[in-house]
Amino acid sequence: MKTLYLECTMGAAGDMLVASLLELLPEPRKFLDKMNSLRLPGVHVEAVPAEKCGITGTHMRVTIHGEEEKTEDVPAGSTPATHCSQEEHHHHTSLQEIQEMINGLNLPAAVKKDVLAVYDLLAEAESHAHGQPVSEIHFHEVGMMDAVADITGVCLLMHMLAPDHVTASPVHVGSGEVHCAHGILPVPAPATAFLLRGIPIYGGSVQGELCTPTGAALLKYFVNDFGDMPVMQVSKIGCGMGTKDFSQANCVRAMLGEAADSKEEVLELRCNLDDMTPEALGFAQERLLAGGALDVYTTAIGMKKNRSAVLLTCLCRPEMRSEMIHLLFEYTTTLGVRETLCRRCTLSRTERAANTVYGPVHVKAATGWGVHRQKVEYEDLARIAREHGCSLTEASKLVQNNLE
For 272-335, the DSSP string reads EESS--HHHHHHHHHHHHHTT-SEEEEEEEEEGGGEEEEEEEEEE-GGGHHHHHHHHHHHS--S
Domain range summary for the chain, segments of one domain joined by +: 2-259, 263-345, 348-403
User: In this structure, are residues 6 and 257 in contact, taking their beta carbons and an 8 Å threshold?
Assistant: no
Closest to 349 (Cα-Cα) out of 361, 364, 329: 364
Q: What is the pLDDT of residue 245?
A: 86
Q: Would you say residue 288 has pLDDT above 50?
A: yes
User: In this structure, are residues 401 and 386 in contact, taking their beta carbons and an 8 Å threshold?
Assistant: no
Q: How large a percentage of the chain has pLDDT more than 90?
A: 56
Q: What is the mean pLDDT of the chain?
A: 86
241-255, 360-374, 382-396, range with the lowest pLDDT: 360-374
DSSP secondary structure of 173-211: -EESEEEETTEEEESSPHHHHHHTTTS-EE--S-BEE-B
Q: What is the pLDDT of residue 352?
A: 81
Q: What is the pLDDT of residue 81?
A: 40
Torsion of CA 248, 254, 260, 263, to 10 degrees: 80
Contacts 24+ apart (CB under 8 A), 121-126: 121/195, 121/217, 121/220, 121/221, 122/147, 122/191, 122/195, 122/213, 122/214, 122/217, 123/95, 124/194, 124/355, 125/191, 125/192, 125/194, 125/195, 125/213, 125/216, 125/217, 126/191, 126/213
Mean pLDDT score, 274-289:
96
Per-residue pLDDT band for 140 (boundaries 50, 70, 90) equals low
Q: What is the pLDDT of residue 142?
A: 40
Q: What is the pLDDT of residue 368?
A: 72
Q: What is the pLDDT of residue 57?
A: 95
Q: Would you say residue 78 has pLDDT above 60?
A: no
Segment 156-191, tens digit of pLDDT: 999 999 998 899 999 999 888 776 665 677 888 888
Mean pLDDT score, 46-68:
89
Segment 12-28, tens digit of pLDDT: 999 999 999 999 999 99
Q: Would you say residue 36 has pLDDT above 90?
A: yes
Q: Would you say residue 95 has pLDDT above 60?
A: yes
Q: What is the pLDDT of residue 15?
A: 94
Mean pLDDT score, 391-400:
89
Q: How large a percentage of the chain has pLDDT more than 70?
A: 88
Q: What is the pLDDT of residue 344?
A: 84
Secondary element (H or E) of residue 251: strand 251-259
Q: Would you say residue 132 has pLDDT above 80?
A: no
Segment 195-231, tens digit of pLDDT: 999 899 999 778 889 999 999 999 999 998 899 898 8
Q: What is the pLDDT of residue 94?
A: 77
Q: What is the pLDDT of residue 135?
A: 66
Q: Would you say residue 366 has pLDDT above 90?
A: no
Secondary element (H or E) of residue 368: strand 359-368
Mean pLDDT score, 81-108:
69
Give the CATH fold of the 263-345 domain: Alpha-Beta Plaits (3.30.70)
